[in-house]
Amino acid sequence: MRNVVEIDFPSEILLGLHLDAGQFAKLIKKETAIALFKDGKLSSGMAARWLGVPRVHFLIQAMQEGDATLLQDNEEDFSRETSLL
């Protein structure tokens, strides 16, 4: 099932960003996926599927462009990761 969201914005945004509507839509989609991942509202796998890229590519992009972190410096993440050893 495919869902479509319509967003109103002034044309000056496209001019200022030097993008066409399709490029702007891709930018919004990518930035939204990264932001939802960073907020813990979307898994990396789901974000990657949404963007149509491999999970590892999404994670690299989220870390490089969105300053996302894979692990928090806390006891819960430490326990989860060390339990896998």
pLDDT one-digit tens code per residue, 38-62 = 888 888 899 999 999 999 999 889 9
| Position 3 in a domain | no
Q: Identify the domain containing residue 44 by its residue range.
A: 11-83
As a whole number of Å, the CA-based R_g of the chain is 16
**Greater model confidence, 81 or 29:** 29
Outline where DSSP puts E strands in 5-64: none
Residue 75, amino acid:
E
- Output the pLDDT for position 84: 52
**pTM of the model as a whole:** 0.76
- Output the pLDDT for position 78: 60
| Position 55 in a domain | yes
Q: Is the pLDDT of residue 71 over 90?
A: no
- CATH assignment at residue 59: 1.10.10
